[in-house]
């Protein structure tokens, strides 16, 4: 039997939402929450930093918020995917004592078929985190709503985290934002390249002495494919730009037989273009940016403008070996441009499985 305790159906994050910290033993969850509309039925609810700080006061509040975001009222066991689960209420109604002796407001569920206990964090990027869950919610929202991205230094200062923790936290969120490459693009697809980094003024002082790190060779080429219909963007770091490297990326991401490619006049696109349903190019040097058959690479230009603003303004210097993670973040925000910040937050909630270990990020 699927059992959802009444308080699970409670949070609406409207101004009258009672905090978990306000529960008393005399007043049951049921009495507190009886007449409240669930979050996922309240389409007009708008998430802002202000609304989050107003509604999420405690760790328990943050767990409740994520449960709503990820489960929409139907908790699912991360181990066996059963919905036959029940809430394990702490004896004092609010918190339980951990093995270390401290109090934890972690909300625990138990699966009937597999007998495993879990929380909304199990199997996500936040699994076994030492960072307050409330901080995670805030930072995830900042990542969802900041057009130019969020700098680790800024998160470190604002939320009182150590630099390594802030940096790692943002990379985990970027990983959740990254596309899974599962589906192939079809129809009209735009492709263009951009070179990232390598500007001496934007480099760390200690790197300026390294021989051979200046100049063009220091710039990292990136190719971005955008599906004209869905607006989905996928960016890939390239070792260099030539027919073979561009061809590999295009073959990996599009259904060749049903895709028409739109590019500038770079000759490296000609061989792969011949193998596709169609290939239209515009000659920027001749001042042509679009014809009756193609909108050229305008979509990619828009994407690159946003990417450069973010990388130069917010992140200042991005190590080429981590660049693909930043691209995942910018791809995600570009691809979900029609979503509100609230919808993007919900969408990300569905992607929060898997966890990026620190070792993986360092590699
Ligand atoms: Zn289970």
pLDDT score of 84: 95
The mean pLDDT of the chain is 81
Distance in Å, CA 122 to ligand 1 centroid = 12
pLDDT at 151 over 80: yes
pLDDT, tens only, 19-78: 444 444 444 444 444 334 444 444 446 788 888 888 899 999 999 999 988 888 889 998
pLDDT over threshold 80, residue 2: no
Provide mean pLDDT across the span 307-324: 86
What domains can you pick out in the chain, each with its CATH number?
Answer: 1-122 (no CATH), 128-177+341-363 (no CATH), 185-318 (3.30.420.10)
CA of 118 to the centre of ligand 1 (A): 9
Question: What average pLDDT does range 152-171 have in this prediction?
Answer: 94
Please report the pLDDT score of residue 22 as a whole number: 43
Model confidence at 98, pLDDT cuts 50, 70, 90, reads: confident
Phi, psi of 230 (to 5 degrees): -90, -15
Is 50 exceeded by the pLDDT of residue 14?
A: no
Mean pLDDT calculated for residue range 11-17: 38
Of 149, 144, 173, the residue nearest 316 (C-alpha): 149
Amino acid 179: pLDDT: 63
State the Cα–Cα distance between residues 321 and 137, nearest whole angstrom: 27
- Residue 362 pLDDT > 60, yes or no? no
Q: How far is the CA of 63 from the centre of ligand 1 (A)?
A: 19
In the reported structure, the alpha carbon of residue 82 is separated from the centroid of ligand 1 by a whole-number distance in angstroms of 5
- Compute, in angstroms, the gap from residue 355 CA to the centroid of ligand 1: 19
Residue 87 pairs with which residues in a beta bridge?
109
pLDDT at 304: 95
How much distance in Å is there from the Cα of 128 to the middle of ligand 1?
A: 19
Ligand 1 centroid vs 351 CA: distance in angstroms? 20
Three-state DSSP class for residue 123: coil
Q: Mean per-residue pLDDT for 125-151? A: 91
Confidence band for 93, pLDDT divided at 50, 70 and 90? confident
pLDDT of the residue at 203: 42
Angle at the Cα of 297 from the Cα atoms of 295 and 300, rounded to 5 degrees: 125
Q: Of the given ranges (82-91, 115-124, 348-357), which has the lowest mean pLDDT? A: 348-357
Residues 26, 45 contacting (CB under 8 angstroms): no
Q: What is the mean pLDDT of residues 290-315?
A: 90
* Residue-wise burial string across 277-287, b where 16 or more C-beta atoms lie within 10 A, e elsewhere: bebbbbeeeee
CA of 266 to the centre of ligand 1 (A): 53
pLDDT the model gives residue 284: 86
Distance 363 CA to ligand 1 centre (A): 33
Burial of 293-324, coded b for 16+ CB within 10 Å and e otherwise, reads: ebebbbbbeebbebbeebbbebbeebeeebbb
- CA 8 – ligand 1 centroid, Å: 19
Q: 218-253: per-residue pLDDT in tens?
A: 789 999 999 999 999 999 999 999 999 999 999 999
Q: How confident is the model at residue 198 (pLDDT cuts 50, 70, 90)?
A: low
Instruction: Provide the percentage of residues in the chain whose pLDDT is more than 90.
Output: 48
* pLDDT of 272 higher than 60: yes
Please check the confidence at residue 276 and state whether its pLDDT lies above 90. Answer: yes
- How large a percentage of the chain has pLDDT more than 70? 78
d(CA 81, ligand 1 centre) in Å? 6
């Amino acid at each position: 039997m699927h059992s959802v305790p009444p308080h699970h159906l409670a949070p609406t994050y409207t101004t009258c939402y009672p905090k978990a910290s306000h529960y008393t033993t005399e007043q049951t969850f049921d009495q507190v929450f009886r007449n409240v509309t669930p979050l996922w039925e309240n389409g007009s609810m708008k998430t802002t930093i202000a609304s989050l700080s107003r509604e999420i006061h405690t760790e328990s509040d943050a767990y409740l918020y994520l449960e709503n975001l990820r489960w929409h009222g139907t908790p699912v066991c991360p181990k066996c995917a059963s919905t036959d689960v029940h809430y394990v209420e702490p004896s004092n109604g609010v918190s339980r004592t951990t093995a270390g002796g401290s109090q934890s407001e972690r909300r625990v569920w138990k699966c009937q078929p597999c007998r495993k206990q879990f929380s909304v964090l199990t199997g996500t990027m936040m699994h076994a985190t030492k960072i307050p869950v409330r901080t995670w919610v805030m930072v995830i929202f900042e990542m969802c709503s900041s057009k130019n991205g969020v700098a680790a230094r800024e998160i470190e200062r604002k939320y009182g985290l150590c630099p390594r923790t802030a940096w790692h936290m943002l990379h985990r969120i970027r990983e959740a934002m990254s596309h899974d490459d599962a589906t192939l693009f079809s129809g009209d697809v735009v492709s263009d390249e951009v070179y990232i980094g390598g500007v001496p003024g934007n480099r760390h002082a200690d790197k300026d002495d390294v021989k051979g790190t200046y100049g063009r060779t220091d710039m990292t080429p990136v190719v971005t494919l955008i599906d004209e219909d869905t607006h989905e963007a996928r960016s890939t770091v390239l070792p260099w730009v030539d027919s073979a490297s561009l061809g590999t990326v295009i073959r990996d991401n599009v259904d060749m037989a049903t895709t028409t490619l739109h590019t500038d006049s770079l000759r490296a696109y000609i061989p792969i273009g011949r193998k596709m349903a169609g290939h239209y190019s515009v000659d920027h040097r001749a001042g042509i940016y679009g014809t009756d058959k193609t909108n050229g690479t305008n979509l990619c230009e828009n994407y690159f403008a946003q990417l450069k603003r973010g990388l130069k303004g917010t992140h200042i210097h991005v190590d080429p070996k981590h660049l693909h993670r930043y691209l995942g973040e910018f791809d995600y925000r570009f691809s979900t441009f029609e979503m509100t910040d609230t919808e993007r937050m919900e969408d990300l909630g569905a992607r929060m499985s898997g966890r990026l270990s620190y070792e993986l990020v360092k590699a």
